[in-house]
Every structure is written in C-alpha cells, then in structure tokens.
Amino acid sequence: MPIIPVNYYIFLAVALFAIGIVGVLTRRNAIIIFMCIELMLNAVNILLVAFSKMHHVAAYALDKTTTVGTEAQLFVFFIMVVAAAEVTVGLAIIVMLYRNIHSVDINFLNRLKH
C-alpha cells in the first residue's frame, strides 16, 4: 500500500487557506469574499480529516479494533452543520445589503465611519 505523508495534506490545506486569504483581501464583491471564507473552512476540514487518519493509522498498528480518530471526523461534521447555518444568515444579510444600497461592493460599506 502506498504511503502518503501527512505533510502533503498540510501543504494542500495551507495553500487553499492562503488562496482564500488572498481572495478576501483582493476582491470587492461581498459574495466572492464569502465564498473565499467557505474555501478557508474547507481547507481546515481537510486538515482535520488528515490528522484524524494519521492518528488512526498510528493507533491501528498497535490495536486492530481501535476507533481513535472518530471525534475529528464528527468535528468536521459539526463544522459543516454550522457552516450551513452561517451561509444562510450571511446570504440573507447580503441580500438585505443589496436592497439598501443596491450594490454588493464592500467599499460602499464604510459609512459606519461617519
């Protein structure tokens, strides 16, 4: 069986997270920024699943009936649950924003300063 170092998954997750950060910093469309936040959430999910499997492989070598690593996958499941709720409310806020200022450009949102 092939061995994939967990480093590769770390680098993939970090790269996806950095791309999400760059997207949040460069774009002005609120929906795109929201999508980049989703991208970062998914990068973290990959990392959690990879560490869960790493932990499980190490424990499985000693005990064939171990269920170590289940908690991390459940944690990813709960992250997805919270993300679904968060997307609903966030998109409702963006729709309300669009009704009020007729744009989703975040540069029009600096009026809290004045």
Q: Does 42 bind another protein (CB under 8 A)?
A: yes
Distances (CA, A) of 101 to 32, 34, 51: 18, 18, 44
Site membership for another protein, residue 101 (CB under 8 A):
no
Q: For another protein, which is the closer residue by CB, 13 or 111?
A: 13
What 8-state DSSP symbol labels residue 1?
A: -
Q: Is the CB of 3 or the CB of 112 nearer to another protein? A: 3
Give the C-alpha separation, 109 to 89, whole Å. 18
Residue 49 touching another protein (CB under 8 A): yes
10-29 residues in contact with another protein (CB under 8 A) are 10-12, 14-23, 25-29
Q: How far is the CB of 102 from another protein (least distance, A)?
A: 9
From the list 42, 34, 51, the residue with the least C-alpha distance to 15 is 42
8 binds another protein (CB under 8 A): yes
Binding to another protein by CB under 8 A, coded x per residue (else -) over 78-97, reads x-xxxxxxxxxx-xxxxxx-
Burial (0-12, 13-18, 19+ Cβ within 10 Å), 47: buried
The yes or no reply on residue 9 touching another protein (CB under 8 A) is: yes
* Cα Rg of the chain, angstroms: 19
